[in-house]
């Protein structure tokens, strides 16, 4: 059974907080590549398991390809967002 995100608004808020923090950091630093990965899957108008999975995969691909150019705080935020998204996509 998939989790209905509308019944767990705190999870949506956690994902939003992580992504917004990443967005703000990367806009401020003018980091175009990480922004492209993030904006490929975010913002999420209405969280669904499919959209959460898409966000998780996009951020995972970013970590695989560009982890050496991300700072510790960015990696932590990305890992947090991935963990929350994946938790909500399990069957």
- The helix or strand, by DSSP H or E, that contains position 32, with its residue range, turns out to be helix 32-39
Question: What is the distance between the alpha carbons of residues 45 and 76, in angstroms, rounded to a whole number?
Answer: 24
Is the pTM higher than 0.85? The answer reads: yes
- What is the tens place of the pLDDT at every residue in 14-65? 999 999 999 999 999 999 999 999 999 999 988 889 999 999 999 999 999 9
CA angle 61, 67, 72 (to 5 degrees): 125
User: Angle CA(55)–CA(45)–CA(27) in degrees, nearest 5?
Assistant: 65
What are the backbone dihedrals phi and psi of residue 26, each rounded to the nearest 5 degrees, phi first? -75, -30
First to last CA, the chain: 5
């Amino acid at each position: 059974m998939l989790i209905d995100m509308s019944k767990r608004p705190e999870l949506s808020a956690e994902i939003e907080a992580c992504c917004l923090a990443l967005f703000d950091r990367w806009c401020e630093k003018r980091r175009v590549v990480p922004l492209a990965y993030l904006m490929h899957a975010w913002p999420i108008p209405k969280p669904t398991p499919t959209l959460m999975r898409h966000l998780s995969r996009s951020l995972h691909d970013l970590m695989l390809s560009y982890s050496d150019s991300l700072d510790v705080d960015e990696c932590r935020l990305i890992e947090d967002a991935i963990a929350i998204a994946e938790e909500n996509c399990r069957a």
